[in-house]
């Protein structure tokens, strides 16, 4: 290894950016820790920013060349299951261009199958199993010194013997016992300066049969001290000006005494600060209490992620999740009632899952939605090293539909690689079910993931829905309409059309029986939101990932082109719904839906979220009649009704809100 400008370039596990609001700016907090530990050891390191879309195989050498253009002494890939095929193919391209450069793999996917992967894929030189905070600096030191005898002393290092080319399995991976002794992660090196996740701890003491977290972190739960976590939050505030942060730990709320101490310290800090911190976290529903949630809320917790996985008591026991589903729903209701954005994750496709199990899960999904929480459903990904993998890897099948955790968009080489190695790429495969078709599962996953867009409607009519919940056979209801929606319409969104049509029919039924018509206005905004988000995703895939972010333009030139973006819509309602749409839980039964003529713009701001903007009646025409034109044409068209100053202000809003893009005249 040569001592170049950068000793090692770290590659994050999301290296196929298909959305400018997701992949481009993502860095796992573990890489930020590695930057600090490497720097503390005297090594120069950087994180590669993945901005080039890998849309086809021709893009792979371009990205490999871009990585090598940083002139690193070594390259380290952080690996997750979904990006693993890309990581391997890029490693092969890098080795083809520069055979001498050391390529190191680490992270969960490489750690679990380390010896097997190193034996199969010669483009990888080393794999570091487990936590690399101390072991990666040791490996870089060895690579610079060239003394192979030192390699055996590096915990978790898997490598090929230089003489025999045999794989040396190495010792078990390293585990950092006292996380407070690690340096502060290099938060200042994140790409997107408005978002940061605080490194709070590692590990999980539970043994769910589908999860690799407890394996990767040696089944040891650890958390930093409350004072240290808050100090890191202060660091991010001082360095980046951030006061909204995510807590990075799968099981942050496990220790009740710790959480009480953390909340108390943060409440005290926020009371005397001009910039109170807000934060988000992940937890289990059996590791929170109502009092804890109230203290968390008071200390600034604004969102929480709960993994329920299944609404079936039988499946809960089978997968060793062992949640009490009654307690789970109660905690979720309390969380949403406090105003905490609550996201609830489910899975489907577990081994032996029956139609009753799946119906129980769908009832639970609907119940959490009626509580105002945002449900998500993924299909089970069979992850290497898990008990489910050990029992069922031989039964897995491949159909080129990537669901669950593996949501990348594969090239032909990626597909061939995945199909060639079921054991390594098991997360791209599925386990057949004798009771439920793959087609039904796929339809259900997309359907459930659209429910969150309709929460205001569902909350508004939740008493009516609950009456029909108990005895409904949702699986049969959906299967009866599969053909009509999947093959009978010329649409790429059959699940969204099914959900919209079903709610529309139910609302019409309720309105005929006396439900106030304000429910229809709420529903109209909700389905507009859902369809605009679908448009936004397609636009991102086709265009946005290839573009640079548009520069802010305070005063466009008269000849510049105004180009309306395709994923927003102007909606007219017969009553005022703005306040309710922003707080359906808090305003349930209290909202004042005054009659009138109101206009709103529905605009997606990410692949999951939309914003609602009020449009004054006098401005309505400017938005309604917006077409591609020059700035001068837009002003002349609206100046008679609005005046020049107001017309320019409206154009400024359109630019700030992201309704249009401006193309400079030449």
- 537-583 pLDDT, tens per residue? 888 766 644 443 444 445 788 999 999 999 999 999 999 999 999 99
Task: Mention every residue, 6+ apart, whose C-beta is less than 8 A from residue 460.
Answer: 519, 522, 580, 584, 588
pLDDT reported for residue 265: 98
15 contacts 21 by C-beta, under 8 angstroms: no
Q: Contact at 8 Å (CB) between 34 and 184? A: no
What percent of the chain has a predicted confidence (pLDDT) above 70?
92
Bridge partners of residue 10, in order along the sequence? 47, 76
Q: What is the pLDDT of residue 148?
A: 62
Q: Residue 290 has which token pair?
A: 């109502």
**Pick from 12-26, 435-449, 507-521: least confident:** 12-26
Per-residue pLDDT of 337-372, as tens digits, reads 999 999 999 999 999 999 999 999 999 999 999 999
Task: Classify 519-663 by CATH class.
Answer: alpha beta
**Left if phi > 0, otherwise alpha if psi is -120 to 50, otherwise beta: which for 642?**
alpha
18: confidence class by pLDDT, cuts 50, 70, 90: very low
Average pLDDT estimate for 74-91: 93
Question: 505 or 192: which carries more pLDDT confidence?
Answer: 505
pLDDT tens digits for range 277-320: 999 999 999 999 999 999 999 999 999 999 999 999 999 999 99
Residues facing residue 174 across a β-bridge:
130
Mean pLDDT of the chain: 90
The pLDDT of residue 54: 82
Q: Quote the strand ranges of 12-166, DSSP E.
A: 45-47, 72-78, 103-106, 126-128, 157-160
pLDDT at 20 over 80: no
144: pLDDT strictly greater than 80:
yes
Whether the per-residue pLDDT at 17 is higher than 60: the answer is no
CB of 53 closer than 8 Å to CB of 16: yes
| pLDDT (0 to 100) of residue 612 | 96
> Taking the model in full, what pTM does it have?
0.92
Residue 489 has pLDDT above 80, yes or no: no
What token pair was written down for 589? Answer: 């039964």
End-to-end CA distance of the chain: 49
Residue 24 has pLDDT above 70, yes or no: no
CATH of domain 6-168: 3.40.50.2300
pLDDT digits 0-9 by tens, 94-137: 999 999 999 999 998 999 999 999 999 999 999 999 899 999 99
Domain boundaries, the chain: 6-168, 519-663
Distance CA 325, CA 312 (A): 8
Pairing of strands 561-564, 629-630: antiparallel
Residue 19 is predicted with a pLDDT of 43
Q: How many helices (H) and strands (E) does the chain have?
A: 25, 21
The alpha carbon torsion through 145, 150, 151, 155 (nearest 10 deg) reads -120
pLDDT of residue 406: 47
Distance CA 100, CA 53 (A): 26
Residue 307's pLDDT is what?
96
Cβ(406)–Cβ(424) under 8 Å?
A: no
Contacts 24+ apart (CB under 8 A), 262-266: 262/226, 262/229, 262/230, 262/299, 263/292, 263/295, 263/296, 263/298, 263/299, 264/295, 264/299, 265/226, 265/227, 265/230, 266/226, 266/230, 266/299, 266/300
Q: What would the pLDDT profile of 590-602 be if each residue is shown by its tens digit?
A: 999 999 999 999 9
Q: What pLDDT shows up at residue 104?
A: 97
The Cα–Cα gap between 470 and 193 comes to 47
378-435: pLDDT as tens digits: 999 999 989 999 999 999 999 988 765 444 567 899 999 999 999 999 999 999 999 9
190-213 confidence digits (pLDDT tens): 887 777 999 999 988 898 999 987
111 HSE (CA, 13 A, CB side):
25
Note whether 64 and 90 are within 8 A (CB): yes
Mean pLDDT throughout 128-154? Answer: 85
Which band of pLDDT confidence, cut at 50, 70 and 90, is reported for residue 13?
confident
């Amino acid at each position: 290894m040569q001592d170049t400008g950068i000793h090692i370039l770290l590659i994050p596990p999301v290296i196929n950016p298909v959305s400018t609001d997701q992949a481009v700016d993502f860095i796992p907090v573990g890489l930020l820790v590695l930057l600090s530990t490497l720097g503390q050891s005297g090594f120069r390191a950087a994180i590669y920013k993945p901005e080039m879309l890998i849309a086809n195989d021709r893009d792979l050498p371009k990205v490999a060349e871009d990585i090598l253009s940083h002139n690193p002494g070594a390259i380290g890939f952080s690996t997750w299951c979904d990006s693993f095929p890309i990581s391997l193919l890029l490693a092969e391209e890098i080795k083809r261009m520069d055979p001498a450069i050391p390529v190191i793999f680490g992270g969960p996917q490489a750690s679990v199958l380390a010896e097997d992967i190193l034996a199969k894929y010669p483009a990888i030189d080393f794999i570091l199993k487990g936590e690399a905070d101390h072991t990666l600096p040791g490996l870089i030191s060895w690579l610079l010194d060239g003394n192979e005898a030192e390699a055996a002393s590096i915990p978790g290092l898997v490598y090929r013997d230089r003489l025999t080319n045999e794989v040396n399995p190495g010792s078990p991976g390293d585990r950092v016992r006292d996380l407070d002794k690690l340096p502060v992660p290099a938060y200042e090196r994140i790409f997107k300066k408005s978002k940061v996740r605080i490194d709070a701890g590692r590990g999980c003491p539970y043994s769910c049969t589908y999860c690799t977290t407890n394996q990767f972190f040696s089944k040891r739960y650890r958390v930093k001290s409350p004072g240290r976590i808050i100090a890191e939050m202060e660091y991010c505030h001082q360095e980046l000006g951030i006061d909204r942060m995510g807590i990075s730990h799968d099981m942050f709320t496990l220790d009740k005494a710790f959480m009480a101490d953390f909340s108390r310290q943060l409440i005290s800090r926020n009371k005397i600060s001009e910039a109170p911190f807000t934060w988000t976290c992940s937890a289990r529903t059996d590791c929170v209490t109502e009092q804890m949630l109230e203290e968390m809320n008071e200390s600034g917790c604004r969102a929480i992620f709960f993994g329920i996985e299944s609404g079936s008591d039988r499946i809960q026991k089978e997968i060793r999740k062992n949640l009490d589903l009654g307690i789970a729903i109660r905690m979720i209701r309390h969380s949403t009632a406090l105003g905490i954005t609550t996201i609830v994750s489910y899975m489907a496709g577990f081994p032996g899952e029956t139609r009753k199990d799946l119906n129980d899960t769908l009832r639970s999904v609907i119940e959490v939605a009626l509580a105002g929480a945002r449900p998500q459903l993924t299909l089970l990904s069979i992850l290497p090293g898990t008990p489910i993998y050990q029992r069922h890897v031989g039964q897995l099948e491949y159909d080129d539909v990537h669901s669950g955790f593996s949501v990348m968009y594969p090239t032909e080489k990626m597909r061939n690689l995945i199909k060639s190695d079921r054991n390594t790429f098991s997360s791209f495969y599925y386990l057949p079910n004798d009771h439920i078709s793959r087609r039904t599962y796929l339809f259900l996953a997309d359907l459930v993931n659209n429910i969150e867009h309709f929460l205001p409607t569902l909350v508004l009519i939740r008493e009516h829905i609950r009456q029909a919940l108990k005895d409904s056979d949702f699986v049969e209801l959906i299967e009866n309409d599969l053909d009509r929606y999947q093959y009978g319409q010329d649409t790429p969104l059959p699940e969204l059309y099914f959900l919209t049509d079903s709610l529309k029919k139910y609302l019409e039924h309720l309105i005929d029986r006396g439900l106030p018509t304000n429910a229809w206005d709420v529903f109209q905004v909700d389905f507009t939101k859902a369809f605009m988000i679908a448009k936004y995703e397609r636009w991102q895939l086709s265009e946005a990932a290839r573009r640079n972010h548009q520069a802010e333009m305070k005063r466009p030139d008269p000849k510049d082109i105004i180009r309306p973006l395709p994923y927003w819509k102007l909606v007219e309602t017969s009553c005022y719904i703005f306040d309710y749409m922003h707080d359906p839980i808090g305003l349930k039964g209290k909202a004042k839906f005054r009659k009138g003529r109101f206009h709103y713009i529905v605009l997606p701001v990410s692949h999951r979220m939309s914003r609602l903007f009020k449009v004054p009646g006098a401005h309505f025409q400017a938005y309604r009649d917006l077409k591609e034109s020059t700035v001068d044409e837009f002003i002349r068209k609206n100046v008679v009704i609005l005046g020049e100053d107001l017309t320019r202000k409206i154009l400024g809003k359109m630019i700030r809100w992201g309704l249009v893009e401006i193309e400079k005249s030449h």
